[in-house]
Amino acid sequence: MAKEKVKEAPAGEGGEGAEGEEAPAKKKPPMLIIIIAAAVLVLGGGGAAAFFLLKPKPAAEGEKAGEHGKEKKKEKKKEEKKEGGKEDKNAPKVSEGPNGVMFVTLPDVVVNMQTADGRPTFLKLKLTLEMPDEEAVETLEPNMPRMQDMFQTFLRELRPEDLQGSQGSYQLRMEIQRRVNLVIAPAKCNAVLIEEMLIN
């Protein structure tokens, strides 16, 4: 009995082995077909995505859309200026004045001034620029970093004695106006109005 079991086992294993050899051969498709199918799917999907995403727009529609977008941006800026600027505290506030002039209130300027005794002294200015029209106002926004730099470098060199009395205020106004006009040239600033000047 033991011999029979031993003999049957190899025969059974051989039978399973024969079936096992045939089954994988039938189930296993050639690897080349799988690679080709995957490549077709990837290339086809990429080509379709490129076709839809990179499809050029008709020239007439593209130009109209560009012009329409620019008009919307201009209208939005005008509305913001009429409302007094953006919510950002650092943005200039624009308001209309008499005879078509525009008033642009700049963010507060705070600088550390020089003193003879080395004591820290600060100057805080609230300035409003009187501009002739809206076109001149539009030149201010892109030049704000230059103007801030100009204020810092010029005002830091002043001493508290330079700003005493009406003569000091007048000279400060004229010098700031000259420097603003240099920054925004060819546009012009009509006047610089000092709304607040604190020396601490």
pLDDT of residue 85: 45
Q: How far apart are the first and last CA of the chain?
A: 114
Domain boundaries 92-199, corresponding CATH code: 3.30.479
Q: Which of 67-81, 114-128, 175-189 has the highest mean pLDDT?
A: 175-189
Q: Are strands 102-105 and 109-113 parallel, antiparallel or unpaired?
A: unpaired
Q: In this structure, are residues 106 and 88 in contact, taking their beta carbons and an 8 Å threshold?
A: no
Name the residue with tokens 């506030």. Answer: 93
| Whole-prediction pTM | 0.53
Residue 138 phi/psi, 5-degree rounding, is -65, -25
> How do residues 124-157 score in pLDDT, each as one tens digit?
989 999 998 888 888 888 888 898 888 888 888 8
Q: What are the domain boundaries of the chain? A: 2-53, 92-199
Distances (CA, A) of 54 to 47, 51, 109, 174: 10, 6, 48, 56
**Upstream peptide bond of 186 is cis (omega within 30 degrees of 0):** yes
CA–CA distance, 90 with 107 (Å, rounded to integer): 5
| pLDDT band at 28; cut points 50, 70, 90 | low
- The continuous run of DSSP H or E covering 88 comes out as none
pLDDT at residue 71 above 80?
no
Q: Is the pLDDT of residue 14 over 50?
A: no
Closest CA to 109 of 146, 151, 150: 151
